[in-house]
Amino acid sequence: MLKAFGLSLRIDVAPHAVSVLRVSRWRADAVTLLARQSIAPSGEHPFDAIGNALRAVLGELEVGGWAAQFTLSDELTRMWRVTPPPGAARMADLEGAAGLRFQSLYGEPPSAWRVAADWDAAQPFFAAAVPQRLLDVLQAVAQDCRLAIVGIAPRIVSAWNRCRRGVKAGAWFGLVHEQLLTLAATDTDGKRIRAIRPLPIPPDADQAWLTRTLQREALLLDMAPPALLQLHGAAPAGWIQPLASASHIACQPLAGSAV
């Protein structure tokens, strides 16, 4: 496959399928699905199954020399909020707090996971973890297919990084992907995430469902409901309401919102 200036690959990885998309550095809406490969369930070796699917689909595309960003589904990653310990002054203090919180939430030490975070000693921050075994598989695939990895991130993190500049004050951010709505509740300026909630989308989810869901999540988080939800991804058409009213929260797609 011939390369062109400003183009790269985004490889979406989930336990049930992998997808390869061509994206543009200059145009957020210039996204082309090149191939998709389903994965047969493998309880004993799920990461090997992902690696085999990636080799099969990438081998057909001849992607040698391309730069690639891997985005990982919610099922493959873990994300949690960390409160820095009082008087934290060293990176080791923050890493220790993240590790203790991980073990408290998930009942296991993070030794088999690669942890990354927006480390901050002054205020709570989010951490993300990816299984080290999965990272090893992705790096081996990239080496075999002669790909240059430019990033590996949870899907919500990748989408937020692409869209965060367009999120307005008072708005929450939402990612819609494969019947899942991942909400990112933000501070009032829309620049910092306070909480992340992955929520299944029912088949009959309409604008009333969306408004009720946002109100419920705000109540659970002890936050005010957002004035606006800005969505990235293929949102149901019935959700889009440019203006708020007494009965619903406004919902708008973000520019270049293709996943």
Question: Across residues 79-99, what is the average pLDDT?
Answer: 92
Distance CA 82, CA 122 (A): 11
Q: Which of 207, 160, 208 is nearest to 186 (CA)?
A: 160
**Domain-wise residue ranges, the chain:** 1-162, 167-253
Between the alpha carbon of residue 166 and those of residues 151, 180, 217, 226, the distances in Å are 22, 22, 22, 16
Distance CA 113, CA 129 (A): 6
Same fold? 1-162, 167-253 = yes
pLDDT in tens, 165-192: 889 988 999 999 888 999 999 987 777 8
pLDDT, residue 139, reads 97
CATH 1.10.8.50 is held by the domain 1-162: no
pLDDT in tens, 42-63: 767 899 999 999 999 999 998 9
CATH 3.30.420 is held by the domain 167-253: yes
Strand-pair partners of 251? 229, 241
Please determine, for residue 7, whether its predicted confidence score (pLDDT) is greater than 90: no
* CA torsion through residues 39, 45, 48, 50, sign: positive
Question: Across residues 186-211, what is the average pLDDT?
Answer: 88
Distance CA 13, CA 22 (A): 15
The model's pTM? 0.84
